[in-house]
Each structure stands twice: as structure tokens, then as C-alpha cells.
Chain A
Amino acid sequence: MNYNFNLKKTLIIFAHELKYMLRDRTTLFMMVLLPIIIYPLISVTSAYMFVKSSQSVKKSKTSVIINRDYPPFTDSIRRYFAKYKINYDIKFASLATAEIQSLITRNELSAYIELAKDFEKNIQASKSSEITLKFDLANDKSSVARAEVVNAVRNYKGELVEGNLSRLNISETLIFPFDINSVNIASPSQIGDSLLARILPMVIIMFATIGAFYPAIDVTAMEKERGTLETLLLAPAGALDIMFGKFLAVFCLTMFSIMINLASISLTFTHGFFIIKKISEASRALNIVNFSISPFSIIAIFVFMVPIACIMSALMMQVAIFARNFKEAQNYMTPILLVFMLPPMVSMLPGYSLNFSSALVPVVNLTLLLKGMLLSDYKISLALLTFAVNIAFSLITLVGAARTFASENVLFRPSEDIDVLYFWKYKTLKVNQELNIVKLFFVFQLVLLYYAGSFVQTFFEIKTGLIITEIFFIFLPAFIFIKLVYGNFLNTIEFKVPGLKTLAFSVFVALCGFGFTTVVTIFQSVVSSPPEQMLKQLQKAIMADSASGLFVIAVITALLPAICEEVMFRGMVLNALVKKYSPFYSALICGVLFGIFHFSFYRFIPTAVIGFYLSMLKISTGSILPSMAAHFINNFVIVVIANGEWYLSKGIRPPMSLMFLIEGLILFSFVIFPFVIGSMLRKAGRPSGAAGQDS
């Protein structure tokens, strides 16, 4: 790799890329025109529509029907409506519910008031009586009328009470000792700030992502698609000059896009709504909101976006350079888009604010900080930490992008002209194709497990659900896949009976691995405790009420997974991985996939570790049985300990010496585990005869 850096060449490439991208209409549209048009358009029209529609509901004249005229009541209602300028006709008719409904749907009626039989008589005699109000809450006008009619009737009730009290010479305060006043003390601009604080960080980051998207593809994958990459590499410019020149161009465009979005959004909020307020003086909702963004916040947002734009540009370029054309690049970039688009949603949620641990997460920290800044509620120390963390991440992504650019394997990736969806048609597969097919199938099984598995486990009892999942969603698909692609099932999964020594070794590895994952889990629970729900679920699955129950549970949660999951991971997945990657990397990838497969954030690290050492076990012994045995022992120990813990909670205590022994053993195995892995690595490193073949 040549890391000579030539500023002049970098600037030549930068200038070229910038000019070239600014000539692209799509880029220009997404970057300049869209933000300029879209914010004013969306916000002004939606606000306008909102005001208009609420006005139209109020303005249009509808009626309220009372089943009969009782002048004191009717007059009170009329007075109330007149006082608050509520424009309802009051009519009299006795209607059945069906008739009310049809009148409401025809917009001839908004509410129906039904005075009980003998209402007049009971009121005069100061006896209890009843008024029934009927509305159609599915109808807009009727639901608007509801609050007003209820208030009018309450008002009548108040008048009655007042009248009665004054007749009896009783002070009003005896019945109404206090009034409730809820007063909104937030100034219109404070409400505006809180709204902005939720929306602005998200929108800015989202549009920055979109701003970086096309340029990142344009300077990388498109260069391959056009066939200009080779000519560029033939020019006397180093990989670093090329990468950095391109990066600068993408970065500048991203910052430019942020600037335009920021300007457009702040102008829309500060001036756009002002226009609407003028249009509709009557809108009470908009008068309580006042948007203002200080120039200081705008500059601060801009400065804090610098490292984020840097991370975005470098990461997107690094991913897009793997693609051979625009379409491929779009596919590869989708996960990256999600990485940037989802965290900003956090700022929309109430109650989340920046603290020490969230300041360590790039992108998320910025959205929380921006939210805090707009609410004038943030600490300088956390702001600086956020900035530092993002700068550090941006440097890491830059180095990553530079390394990717210097790799000729990435720049001249051969075309894989095989259609992975029709894999069974091909007699002999190349390793990359085989790996792609296995990856695809793994994703398929993941989706199957997620939907079908969770359905089955809620539909059936949890134990039955586990059995069905293991056999039909894990073992069977893997079995069919291996049969289709490789033919011989047992040979492919390397079902070979190991020697006694190997078996003893795998038991030892499993116990060490258990100790290691236990310590890891404890560490993890210190950092963040697992959700209660998950623990209960787990307990329900592995708790036995009798000795025979323990046996059944051992079969379901230890033996069955040991066979089914091993066939899928160590049989199918690892089999394809080792053909391409070194033993260590294969085991690592297989472990991570195994971790993902457990669909739990809290169990990811322990299960990935287990997946890793089970893979190492298979690679180093050349047989699947040791990893099956180790998997069984790991799960079995968990079942035994969980049941043991239950006895503990019942107050049955084993001798202290035994407890110390167990804890000691766990710590011992934690320490020794890396050495065990090391020994397996050395064993796996020896040639097994599979390497060195020509395709």
C-alpha cells in the first residue's frame, strides 16, 4: 500500500469530483431544490389545511335536537351558545337511536339531548333526574359538538344549583369551595422550541444522509460502472490522494446539503407560520406557538454536524466502493441509511436526554445534544464529549475508507454471474457463490424463525413451541438445503465418531466456555440489567417441577438444540465459511451469526462466544459430534443451575464449601478459556487437506 499523500493531486481530484457531481441533475435536485421547496410546501400547506378544516367544522351550521321543549333548560342552553358564539340550531323532536344516526351521517344533526320522563316535574320538586346526551364519535362534527353540548348542559346544572342555593340562603362556596384554573405558563416561543427540538435534529440528520447518498455512490460505484476507475488508477495519483479527494467532495456536498436544509427549515418555521397566522387570525392553536431559532443554535448545529457528515461520507463511500454499479450500491447502502435514519428518531421520544453513556454513541449523541441545545438544556462537558466522540469515529471511518480504497480486490471485484436464487441448477459451485447461497439461506431461515417461530411459540405451549421450532424451522430447512446443494448429509456435516480423548476435550471446552460466558453475563448485567420479561420466559422454559420433568426439559432445551442448531450452524454455515476464510475468521463469523440467531440484545455476546468456541471445536476436531456434545453440556448445565437456583430461593442451601468450589471453578475456567481457544486455533492451523486446491 502506498500511503504517500500529495495535496495537489488530492485537490485536482476534489475539484473534478465537485464539478462533476454538481452537473448531475438528480444530485442537484435532492440537494438544493428539494429542501428549498419541500419544507415550506409541507409545513405551510399542512398548517393551512389544519386551520381550514377546523374552521370548516366549526363554521358549518348544524343542529342540536332536544326531545321536547322545556323553556328553562332550552333558554339556558341558548344563552350558553350565544355567549360562546356557538352557532347551533336548536330543534325539538323525539327520535330513536337509528334516526339520530342517520341524521348525523347526513350532517343534519350533531347532538341529541334526551330529557328523562318527568324531568320538569322532578327538577321543580328538587328530585334527582337524568339527561342523556347522544353523539356519534365517528363523525367529525358530532365529536366537535360533544364538548360544547356537554359544557352547555353542565352550565345549566350550575345555574340550577346556584338558584337552589340562593333560595335556601346558603353560600355558594359551600358547594363550590374552589375553582380549578389550568394556565399554560409556557410562552409561545417555548412551545415552539420544544416542537423544534423534537423535529429539527431528526430532519437535519435525515437530509444529511440523503445529501451524502448520491455523491458517495457517484464517486465510487459509478466510477466502476462508467469504466473510468481504471483510467483514474493509471494516472499518477496514489490511492490515498484519490480517496481523500473524493471524500472531500462528498463531505463538502453533505455539508452544503446540511446548510441548505438548515436554512430552509429555520426560515420556514420562523417566517412560514407567520404568514399562516396572518391568513387565519382565528386559529387559536397556532397563536400559542411561536418559532424562533437563534443564529447561535444554527451555527452550533452546523459545527456539530461536521464530524457526523464526515462519518456519513466516509462510511457510505467505503460501502459503495464494493458495488460494481449503481443498483448494487443502492442495495448495499440501505443498511447504512437505516443506521443513520433510525437513531435520530430517539430525539422524537420524550424523556430521552444526553448523558454520559449516550454521549458515547455516535449520531445518537448528536441528536440528543441538538435537542438539548434547542431547549437550552445541556452541559458543555457532554457537548464537548459528543464532539470528541464523533471526531474519533469520523477518523476511524476515514482510515477504514482509505484502507478499502487501497485494496485491489475491492476495486477489481470479479463479476459473479451466477444467479444465487437458482443454486440447485449448478453442479459445481465456486466458493464465493456457495457462500452467497448459504448467506441468503441463512437470512431466509432467520426470517422464518422470527415470524413462524414466534407465532408457534405463542400459539402452542412454550415447550411444544420450542420442539416445533427446533425441528421444523432449524433442523429441517438446513437438512433439505444440505441435501439439495451437497447431496450427502452426514458427510457434509462431518458426522464422524471422535475418540474418547476428543470427547473428553469437548466436555472440558464446554465447561470452560460456560464459566467464561457466565462471567461475561455477570459483567453485562452490571452495565445494563436484562429485561424481567426475558428472564421469566427463560425460567418458564427451563424450570422443572419433578425429576422426570427435568429429564424432559433436558431433552427439549439441551439435546434438541445441540443436534438441530449444530446441523444448521456448524454443519451448513461453517462448512461454507471455512472454504473461504481462515479458521479463526470463520469461527468468528459463525459465532456472530449464532448470536444474531438468538434474537436478543442481552444474550448476543454470550451466545456469540458460545457459537465461536463451538465452531473452533468443529474446525479443530474435524467432526460435528464434539460441538454437539459441548452444546448439549452447555445448555444442560444452565438447566441444572437454573433449577438449583430455584432450590436456593426456597431456602434449601448447599454447603458453603460447594458454593465456593463452584464459584472458584467458574473463575478458573474464565481465566483458562482463552488458552483453550488458543490450543484449538493451533490445532486448526495444521493443514487438513482442504486448502490449496485449484478451482
Chain B
Amino acid sequence: MLKFDSMNPDFNLQAPPLSIINVSKTYAEGSVSEYKALRGVSYEIKTHGIYGLIGPNGAGKTTLLRVISNVIKPDSGEVLIYGAAISRNPLAAKYKIGFLSATTGLYSRLSPRETLAYFGRLFDLGEEKIEKRIGELKSLFEMDEFIDKKNETLSFGQRQRVNIARCLLHEPEIFVFDEITEGLDVMSSTIVIKFIKYLAEIKKCVIFSTHDMNLAERLCENIIILHRGSIIQSGRINELKYKNGMNGRSLEDLFMSSIEAKGADSREL
């Protein structure tokens, strides 16, 4: 995956794939509706693997994932991708990131092939390369039968596959998924889970948020618990359980006890 790095000399493949340094984000600052979504979040992803981001509603998960993928800008702090600050060269960082969320949709009047071609052009892939990637992704996600149909005629599962293919198209290193299994039936979520596992096998970084503790426990080695805009626990699941004296208990128990402990604290603040 060295070909993009000739374009972006800032990247250093020896550096950690993703470093989040003291990131804060406040919405509607200065008014009474002011809302601190992130309060000085720091985290480093040192190697490839699956990282689960969990936390109650309003904890700041979506905001954090959007900051990482450079859709919104933090008020303070910095995100580094392979050692390069995304604020310095925001467009370059986008080549390294693949993002997908539960609300991600498709252009209904385009076919999957046209969708992929459009994004391929936006990612400067070149027509030949686009052709080749579409061929690869078509066979990987079994899209032969519907690759030239209009997106609006596709089933939910088929759309999901197109979205995932779009996300993989430019061969990013870091995948950011925001609650992508939310509201999916068993079949569709199985596709997604297989996909996430596949990404880990080919040594990519996956950071995904979810409400599903069982899923997180099954998929991730590492977990990040976000609460009221701050990381309250992070690390390998087993180590965290051991540290909190919850060996043999589920991730859900660990999550609940961490939240409750913090909840009491923040009421005093």
C-alpha cells in the first residue's frame, strides 16, 4: 500500500496509524445550548486490529469518529494519521480513511458500477485502476447480478455490499464505522461482521462504534469506552476486566460498572 505515500510525503508508515491527541469539540459554543461533545480525548492505535468504541447515547462516539475521518474539525487537539496532522493536509488524510455509517446512503439513480466509478474519480484512481478495482470488488462481494442495476432497485443487503465496496475502493488503511450493524437483520449484519474480520485479516485498522456489547466482545481485542465526551476505559478487553476485578464477567458488566462509577463522579462536578 505504498503507492499513495508517494503523493503524500508527510506520511511515515513506521509511525502509529492513528493518534488522537487531546481532541475537544463543543457544539453551539457560547450559547445556553452549548454542548461539549468531546473533552480532551487522547488515544493511540499502534497496530492493525479491530477497535471497538462503546458508550451510552450522547457520549460523543459519532463526533469522535467524524473528527477522525475529518468530516468535522475539532476545536482543539489534533489527529495524526501515520504521523501526519490531518489539519495540515486534510485532503491527503482522506485517502487513508474509509468511512461508513448506519445512515450512509447511495445515489438512487446510479448503478453500483457508476457509484464506484464516481468515487474512484474523486479519489484520483484513474480510469484503468477504477476498472480493475470494480472488477475485484464485484467478485469479492458477489455483485455480478446487480452491478448495472439502479441502486434504488437493490435490496437492503445488496446496498450494504455496495456501500462496503465503496468504502474499500481506494484501499484505505484505516476504517471508521459508525454503528453500521444498527438496524440490520441477521443476514446483513453477518455480511458486515465477515467484512470487518476480513479487514483485520488483511492487516488494516478498524475502529467501529456500536451499542451491541456481544458483538464488540466477539470482534474486538481492544475497547474504548467513551462517556460524556471523555474516555473512561481503554485497552485490551481481558486486561480491562482483570484490572477492574471482573474476570469471567461479560463486557456488558464491565461497561455498566464503569459508567455507573463515572456517573456518580460527574454528578458531584
Question: Once the chains are docked, how many angstroms separate the CA of A232 from the CA of B71?
Answer: 10
Query: What 0/1 pattern do residues 1 to 23 of A give for CB contact below 8 A with B?
Result: 01010000100110010001001
B105 touches A228 (CB 8 A): yes
B72 touches A408 (CB 8 A): yes
Answer whether residue A238 sits at the interface, using C-beta atoms and an 8 A cutoff: yes
Q: Which chain A residues lie closer than 8 Å to B104 at the CB level?
A: 227-228, 230-231
B109 touches A580 (CB 8 A): no
Q: Which of B50-93 contact A (CB under 8 A)?
A: 66, 69-73, 90-92
Q: Pick the interface stretch among B9-17, B29-37, B134-142, B205-213.
A: B29-37
Beyond A23-B109, A580-B32, A582-B30, whether A235 also contacts B103 by CB under 8 A is no
Answer whether residue B123 sits at the interface, using C-beta atoms and an 8 A cutoff: yes
Answer whether residue A380 sits at the interface, using C-beta atoms and an 8 A cutoff: no
Q: Which chain B residues lie closer than 8 Å to A228 at the CB level?
A: 104-107
Question: Once the chains are docked, how many angstroms separate the CA of A226 from the CA of B30?
Answer: 32
Closest to A581 in B: B31
Answer whether residue B122 sits at the interface, using C-beta atoms and an 8 A cutoff: yes
Shortest Cβ gap from A225 to chain B (Å)? 8
Answer whether residue A233 sits at the interface, using C-beta atoms and an 8 A cutoff: yes
Answer whether residue A690 sits at the interface, using C-beta atoms and an 8 A cutoff: yes
Q: Which chain B residues lie closer than 8 Å to A4 at the CB level?
A: 91
Number of interface residues of B (CB under 8 A): 38
Answer whether residue B177 sits at the interface, using C-beta atoms and an 8 A cutoff: no
A695 touches B91 (CB 8 A): no
Question: Once the chains are docked, how many angstroms separate the CA of A227 from the CA of B106?
Answer: 7
Question: Once the chains are docked, how many angstroms separate the CA of A412 from the CA of B33?
Answer: 16
Beyond A230-B104, A235-B119, whether A431 also contacts B33 by CB under 8 A is yes
Answer whether residue B95 sits at the interface, using C-beta atoms and an 8 A cutoff: yes
Answer whether residue A236 sits at the interface, using C-beta atoms and an 8 A cutoff: yes
Q: Which chain A residues lie closer than 8 Å to B122 at the CB level?
A: 9, 12-13, 232, 235-237
Q: Which chain A residues lie closer than 8 Å to B101 at the CB level?
A: 230
Question: Once the chains are docked, how many angstroms separate the CA of A169 from the CA of B200?
Answer: 124
Shortest Cβ gap from A480 to chain B (Å)? 24
Beyond A16-B118, A235-B122, A236-B123, whether A580 also contacts B71 by CB under 8 A is no
Interface size class of A (residues with CB under 8 A): 35 or more
Question: Once the chains are docked, how many angstroms separate the CA of A20 from the CA of B36?
Answer: 39
Query: What 0/1 pattern do residues 400 to 444 of A give for CB contact below 8 A with B?
Result: 000000001100101000000000000000111000000000000
Q: Which chain B residues lie closer than 8 Å to A692 at the CB level?
A: 34
B72 touches A412 (CB 8 A): yes
Answer whether residue B203 sits at the interface, using C-beta atoms and an 8 A cutoff: no
Query: What 0/1 pattern do residues 99 to 128 of B give for CB contact below 8 A with A?
Result: 101011111111000000011011110000
Q: Which chain B residues lie closer than 8 Å to A694 at the CB level?
A: 34-36
Question: Once the chains are docked, how many angstroms separate the CA of A694 from the CA of B109?
Answer: 44
Q: Which chain B residues lie closer than 8 Å to A234 at the CB level?
A: 69-71, 94, 97, 99
Query: What 0/1 pattern do residues 17 to 59 of B give for CB contact below 8 A with A?
Result: 0000000000110111111100000000000000000000000
Question: Once the chains are docked, how many angstroms separate the CA of A13 from the CA of B119?
Answer: 10
Question: Once the chains are docked, how many angstroms separate the CA of A412 from the CA of B69?
Answer: 14
Question: Once the chains are docked, how many angstroms separate the CA of A234 from the CA of B90?
Answer: 10
Shortest Cβ gap from B187 to chain A (Å)? 21
B107 touches A430 (CB 8 A): no
Residue from the set B73, B95, B107 with the largest chain A CB neighbour count within 10 Å: B107
Beyond A235-B122, A236-B124, whether A408 also contacts B31 by CB under 8 A is no
Question: Once the chains are docked, how many angstroms separate the CA of A414 from the CA of B33?
Answer: 12
Shortest Cβ gap from B267 to chain A (Å)? 13
Closest to A13 in B: B122
Answer whether residue B204 sits at the interface, using C-beta atoms and an 8 A cutoff: no
A20 touches B94 (CB 8 A): no
A230 touches B103 (CB 8 A): yes
B32 touches A431 (CB 8 A): yes
B31 touches A431 (CB 8 A): yes
Question: Once the chains are docked, how many angstroms separate the CA of A238 from the CA of B90?
Answer: 9
Answer whether residue A691 sits at the interface, using C-beta atoms and an 8 A cutoff: yes
Q: Which chain A residues lie closer than 8 Å to B36 at the CB level?
A: 694
Q: Which chain B residues lie closer than 8 Å to A236 at the CB level?
A: 91-92, 94-95, 122-124
Q: Which chain A residues lie closer than 8 Å to B73 at the CB level?
A: 408
B34 touches A226 (CB 8 A): no
Answer whether residue A172 sits at the interface, using C-beta atoms and an 8 A cutoff: no
Answer whether residue A579 sits at the interface, using C-beta atoms and an 8 A cutoff: yes
Question: Once the chains are docked, how many angstroms separate the CA of A238 from the CA of B121?
Answer: 14
Q: Which chain B residues lie closer than 8 Å to A226 at the CB level?
A: 105-108
Closest to B101 in A: A230
Answer whether residue A381 sits at the interface, using C-beta atoms and an 8 A cutoff: no
Answer whether residue A126 sits at the interface, using C-beta atoms and an 8 A cutoff: no
Q: Which chain A residues lie closer than 8 Å to B71 at the CB level?
A: 230, 233-234, 408, 412
B109 touches A24 (CB 8 A): yes
Q: Which chain A residues lie closer than 8 Å to B91 at the CB level?
A: 2, 4, 236-238
Question: Once the chains are docked, how many angstroms separate the CA of A412 from the CA of B106?
Answer: 18
Answer whether residue A693 sits at the interface, using C-beta atoms and an 8 A cutoff: yes
Shortest Cβ gap from A36 to chain B (Å)? 23
Q: Which chain A residues lie closer than 8 Å to B108 at the CB level?
A: 226
Which residue of the partner chain, among B31, B69, B166, contacts A579 with CB atoms under 8 Å? B31
Which residue of the partner chain, among A20, A412, A691, contacts B30 with CB atoms under 8 Å? A691
A695 touches B106 (CB 8 A): no
Shortest Cβ gap from B13 to chain A (Å)? 19
Closest to B166 in A: A231
Question: Once the chains are docked, how many angstroms separate the CA of A559 from the CA of B16?
Answer: 71
Which residue of the partner chain, among A13, A235, A690, contacts B32 with CB atoms under 8 Å? A690
Closest to A692 in B: B34
B33 touches A231 (CB 8 A): no
Q: Which chain B residues lie closer than 8 Å to A579 at the CB level?
A: 31-33
Q: Which chain A residues lie closer than 8 Å to B33 at the CB level?
A: 430-432, 579-580, 695
Q: Which chain B residues lie closer than 8 Å to A409 at the CB level?
A: 27
Residues of chain B whose beta carbon lies under 8 Å from any beta carbon of chain A: 27-28, 30-36, 66, 69-73, 90-92, 94-95, 97, 99, 101, 103-110, 118-119, 121-124, 166
Q: List 8 A-B contacts (CB under 8 A).
A: A2-B90, A23-B109, A227-B104, A231-B99, A409-B27, A431-B33, A432-B33, A580-B31
Top 3 nearest A-B pairs (CB, nearest first) are A227-B105, A235-B122, A431-B33
